[in-house]
Structure 1
Amino acid sequence: MQFLEEARRTYVAANAGTLYWMLQRPTLGGGFLNTKQNSLTLQDYGSEDGVRGPDFTYGWIQGRGLEALVGHAEFFERELPPLAEKLDAVGRQLYGLLAALQKPDEHAYFCYDRDMTPVYADAAGNIHLQQKPQLIYSYSDAFVAKGLVAAASRYCPPALADHLAYLDRVVASIEIGRFQMDERRPLSLDSIAEQAEDFGPRMILLAAAGMLKRFGHTAHLVYAHRFISHVINRHLDALTGLLRNVPGEDSCNAGHGIEFVGFALDYLDAEADPALIEALERILISSFDKGFVGPGIATTISVASGEPQSPYCPWWSLPEVIRAAALVHQRTGSAASLRIWETAHAAFFENYWRGTPPIAYQTMTKEGPVDFVPATPDLDPGYHTGLSLLAAIRVADHLIPHNQPISG
């Protein structure tokens, strides 16, 4: 019980610190979130840094940030009301900007230039205008749709129907072959035809299920069980308990497997099939025990050998372990899930968390922090870290006797 109480205090303080840090930074483009800081040097990126700099705005980050602002505002209403008020003010502004950005062609894009025109940088770093096919969707659509639904649920209920329909279209695109994973190339059917059958899109859209459920949008949840079943039936390696990125191939993104467990358990109710809970716990244990190589989770590992295939350990997978392990522990009470929770907690706050400022190193290797950007150069706007820790806080409040939250 002592660990739960200490972990809860740590998570509340970390999240509040990050949010205050983010809120005091100058915005991008008149109101977009600005976390464009190098996590090693603590220097803000400038125009000379190209696609890392303030001339480029990432739809991914803004959608994630909007969902995080809403989730944290709801939490801090009771814990720290002045912070909740600030989060709501910024959340309303960002909601208006993102809704206006998405409305003209009913899409969102990975990267926008200074004029808010969708662009992408190719492998050589050259900037190109992005194509805008109407019937192709992407991860950026997924993150922005989730953010818009969360924000409209709190700030603008009359707009909910349109945002929910957008999210439904993103979900449907995955099952009809209209979802493109790689946004650093033209959005096209040709690009989709060349991509592998990775479970990433279903995993990311499964992340919406818990949020939809909390807001009462149950009519839009029918896909969640299909996605869970599909990933387990097509990607789970029965021998190792790992999820193969692509059926029949050897590579495993252990962090994504752990993320999948957390999102599934965030959605599943108390009547969930015990065999499914057991399978999810096994995925967590296998993914962590094989993926955690120190200082964090290796980006990819071999299913056959269990050996890491990359020296890079990004920050985001450890908070996702904290979420998944906490949710597993709430269901099973197992010693293994508590061990994983405690280990990931220690690794994140001892190896990655800077404290001053309240941000994490983006990527580390066994030699220490490195200047390697996992997906977008902007630092986490309370999404991977904040929302993961919020889920663990809810678990702690459930498990602490008398359900009495420990003040942050």
Structure 2
Amino acid sequence: MYNSLDATVYPQLLQMRGIIGNTIRLMLDRHDLHTSYGWIDLKIDAIDGTDCFDIPGIRDRNHVYSWIQGRGLEALAIHGQWFGKFSGIPTPETHRIKTLAETVARSLQQAREPQQGHLVFCMDESGHGSYTYDGRFTMSDLFCSRGLYAYHRLYGTPGQAQRAKQYLKNVIKAIIAGNFINDQQAFASSTYKDYRDGRKSYAGEMLALGAATLLVKLDQDDEALALGRKLIAHVVDSHVNSALRWPLVREHAIVEWIGTDGQPCRNDQGNIQLDPGHALEFIGLCAQFLLACREYGPSDAESHEWIDGLAALLPSLLEVNLAYGFHPSGGILKSVDGERGLPLHDSMPWWSLPETMRALALVEKLCGSGTWSDWSRMWFDRCFEAFEKNFYSVSAIPVAVQCINLEGNPIPVIPATPDLDPGYHTGLSLIACYDMLAEQVPLQFSGTEVDITPQLGVRLSGHVARSKPAQAVLDRLHARICLLQEPYGAVGLISVDVLEFSPQWIRTVREQISKIWDISPSHILLVATHTHTAPPVIRLGTLAADEMYLQFMTRQILDGCRRLESRYEPVVLEVAACTCNVGINRRVHDPKLGKTYMRPNKEGSRDDEILVVGVRDKTRAIRAILFNIAVHPTTLGVGLPVISADYPGRIEQVLKRRFGETVVVVPLIGACGDVRPAL
């Protein structure tokens, strides 16, 4: 796995999180545009951004592709579950995800009814398609049963989940029995070719393996463990070039088409055709299944031996098939001549790069020793960079373009369906990568300090007895800004040398900072140090807020927050506590008179504990110190007309002299209403 201090990992996680979330947000926003439409709508040309929903043709609203709906339903269910891990990081709203998913699930169930419980590749908006039942299950059945099971298992009733589970198992068993057909249709700009000469692809077994993993993860289903083993055995025994049994292709190549004689088939041009993307997808799904077996399956010796044997094979499969597939322009070739290693088509689909990334990540997790090999790391970074550069950043919308040519330019080729990916290949693959990488990423810190000292002559807030404006600066006022992030959470801390804030100001500034940092407003803590020698930023008694100063202070804080964008470093937190009798209760109650007076009370309640959090970087240097103390910052005379941060500012000065001027010192003044300095 990645070194936890590697500077490239956390930025990659941020990129992945953006890509994953943006697809789901687009799906939800599109649904909001057409709430009466019962399907996922990704009917957009990603190359130029054309909205094809109402434009007659293969991308219009009346061409509903079951593959997209089933894949999208599974993606919505899994994404919804995954987003629940996050705290303080904005993610698509769960209720919107459930609303769209429920709509699609209902539409798919209704579409099955007139078709003897089956689904077909293309339907009209009402769910009707051209279908003649011949006793076989379809690839559309596989995708849609996966989606229905994932959704109903996570969000439905037990009865719905059980029915969907049975549907899914029936499809898997049909694939194993050979009672299955790929119902994909070719388009004019498609690379898909259907063969009717008895040759067999392993696509069904590969995709059914993903279904078996779902059953194992969500239900710990013993039968699914056995089904998954059969699916893997079929691919390894029939399609993997083990021990060079087919000497014309490289050992460990996975051959797409095998004839009834058990030999690799040739295409119309006489080539042994490989599909490296499918091979790499199978490797990733196989690693995912084996990891699920380790976590949820039996722990007997035979099971361990089977898992370990396959785990030992996967790195070789990965290396050989990646070598066949990766093109220098940055993509995975759709079709390759197994003998010469040359491209058979001038196209590379988007989906094979995230699938390859998943394969690299999960094979490392399955087989690695806790750190990434240099080879895997190099290829993971290379694939991610190629995906972002060639497919994602060139798209007119926040979903990858479908295909590029060998020069790395987008082309209008349809890999499977005209509709775009609903978070299936891209989102589900990147989620697996994200979760694996996140295990190695420590807490990330970024911090800064901004000067908010006003000009002389301002009024000061805190004491009614002070009548004069500020005549001197005893020490400067600051706002200290810290952002702490980890893969699934974030919190911002801002400590400001003023008396207090208004609720309206806090709401407004939280929203502004939220947009800058992309974290939830509720995870931004704005703290006033409560110094009594700073300009007024709220109305208190007869003293109104200094609006000019308030605007200046706000600008400084927001500018400081912007400076922290894309600045983070790995850190660890250290916590300490001590007690110090620096405060004294300032309320005395006279029981005889029934009155309470403002005067020192040694017997009164107070909190003498001081909590300290130190933030250390990878060199063990202190980067920030947060301290919590419950004593009023009122060490200065009530009539003294000077600007000062009071004792929190003095503590900051002492700590900076000890640990360096760059350390960010964050005072967090606790509940101190009845406690003043013991002077």
Q: TM-score, normalising length from structure 1? A: 0.90
Match of 2:233 in 1: 229
Which residue, 110, 113, 117 being the options, matches 2:121?
Answer: 110
Contact 2:209-2:286 at 8 Å conserved across structures: yes
The aligned counterpart of 1:38 is 45
Question: Partner residue of 1:393?
Answer: 434
Aligned counterpart, 1:85: 95
Amino acid in the other structure paired with 1:214: K
Report the equivalent of 1:378.
419
CA distance, structure 2, for counterparts of residue 275 and residue 399 of structure 1: 26
**Using the alignment, how far apart are the partners of 1:93 and 1:151 within structure 2?**
11
Aligned counterpart, 2:410: 369
**Rounded Cα–Cα distance in structure 1 between residues aligned with 2:13 and 2:351:** 19
CA 1:164–1:47 in 2, change beyond 3 Å: closer, same or farther?
A: same
Could you give the per-residue CA deviations for residues 279-308 of structure 1, whole angstroms, max 9, x where no partner exists? 212222211122111231110112212211
Measured after TM superposition, the shift of residue 346 of structure 1 is 0.6
- Superposed displacement of residue 205, structure 1: 0.6
Query: Greater relative contact order (Cα 8 A, min sep 6): structure 1 or 2?
Result: 1
Structure 2: distance between partners of 1:220 and 1:15: 32
**Contact 2:73 2:104 (C-alpha < 8 Å) held by counterparts:** yes
Deviation digits for residues 90-126 of structure 1, max 9, x if unmatched? 22222222222224421111100244211xxxxxxxx
Deviates more, 1:354-363 or 1:56-65: 354-363
Considering fraction of residues, name the structure with more strand. Answer: 2
Change (3 A) 1:194 1:170: farther
Q: Secondary structure at the match of 2:25?
A: helix
Distance 2:34 2:415 in 1: 23
Does residue 14 of structure 1 match 2:49?
no
Tell me the percent identity. 28
2:282 matches 1:276: no
The answer for the alignment partner of 1:155 in structure 2 is: 155
Alignment of 1:88-99 (within 5 A): 88-99=98-109
Aligned equivalents of 1:24 and 1:402: distance in 2?
33
Q: How many residues align?
A: 392
Q: By how many angstroms is 1:361 displaced?
A: 1.1
SS of 1:51's equivalent in the other structure is coil
Question: Structure 2: which 5+ residue stretches go unaligned?
Answer: 1-5, 187-193, 245-249, 265-271, 295-303, 445-485, 490-517, 519-679
How far apart are residue 31 of structure 1 and its match?
2.2
**Which deviates more, 231-240 or 69-78?**
231-240
Query: Counterparts of 1:86 and 1:114 in 2: how far apart (Å)?
Result: 21
- Over aligned residue pairs, what C-alpha RMSD do you find? 2.3
Whole-Å separation in 1 of the counterparts to 2:238 and 2:419: 33
| Whole-angstrom CA distance in 2 between matches of 1:229 and 1:197 | 15
- SS of aligned partner of 2:344: coil
**Candidates 199, 202, 206, aligned match of 2:205:** 202
CA distance in 2, matches of 1:14, 1:184: 29
Query: Which moves more between the two structures, 354-363 or 147-156?
Result: 354-363
Cα distance, 1:230 vs. partner?
Answer: 1.3
The 3 A distance-change label for structure 1 pair 182 and 45 is same
Write the distance in 1 (CA, Å) between the matches of 2:162 and 2:430. 29
SS at match of 2:57: helix
Partner-residue secondary structure (3-state), 1:107: coil
Question: What is the distance in 2 between the residues matched to 1:32 and 1:334?
Answer: 43
Query: Where does structure 1 lack aligned partners over 5 or more consecutive residues?
Result: 119-128, 186-190
Q: Compared with structure 1, are the counterparts of its residues 382 and 312 closer, same or farther at alpha carbon in structure 2 (3 Å cutoff)?
A: same
Question: Is 1:340 aligned to 2:375, yes or no?
Answer: no
**How many Å apart are 1:37 and its aligned residue?**
0.5
Matches of 1:251 and 1:22, distance apart in 2 = 35
Distance 2:92 2:410 in 1: 34
Per-residue Cα deviation, 1:40-83 (whole angstroms, up to 9, x for no partner): 11101255542222211011100000000011101112324652
* Counterpart secondary structure, 2:330: coil
Query: Against the structure 1 CA distance between its residues 203 and 29, is the aligned structure 2 distance closer, same or farther, given a 3 Å change threshold?
Result: farther
Distance 1:159 1:53, change over 3 A: same
**Bigger shift: 66-75 or 208-217?**
208-217
3-state SS of 1:52 partner: coil
CA distance in 2, matches of 1:5, 1:160: 37
In 2, distance between residues paired with 1:168 and 1:318? Answer: 29
Match of 1:261 among 283, 306, 325: 283
Cα drift, residue 38 of structure 1:
0.8
CA distance in 1, matches of 2:173, 2:282: 19
Deviation string, structure 1 residues 7-45 (Cα, Å, up to 9, x no partner): 211111111111111211134862211000011111012
Deviation, 1:193, is: 6.5
SS at structure 2 position matched to 1:289: helix
Deviation at 1:85, TM superposition (A): 2.8
C-alpha distance in 2 between matches for 1:311 and 1:192? 21
Which amino acid in the other structure matches residue 264 of structure 1?
C
Equivalent-residue separation in structure 2 for 1:3 and 1:178 (angstroms): 47
Counterpart of 2:462 in structure 1 is none
Give CA deviations for 1:237-283 in whole Å, capped at 9, x if unaligned.
13422100123222110000011011111111344633311321222
Q: Which has the higher helix share?
A: 1
Q: Which residue of 1 aligns with 2:77?
A: 70
Tell me the SS of whatever aligns to 2:415. Answer: coil
1:285 maps onto 2:319 in alignment: yes
Distance 1:28 1:204, change over 3 A: farther
Query: 1:318 is matched with which residue?
Result: 353
Query: Aligned pair in 2 of structure 1 residues 345, 82: CA closer, same or farther (>3 Å)?
Result: closer
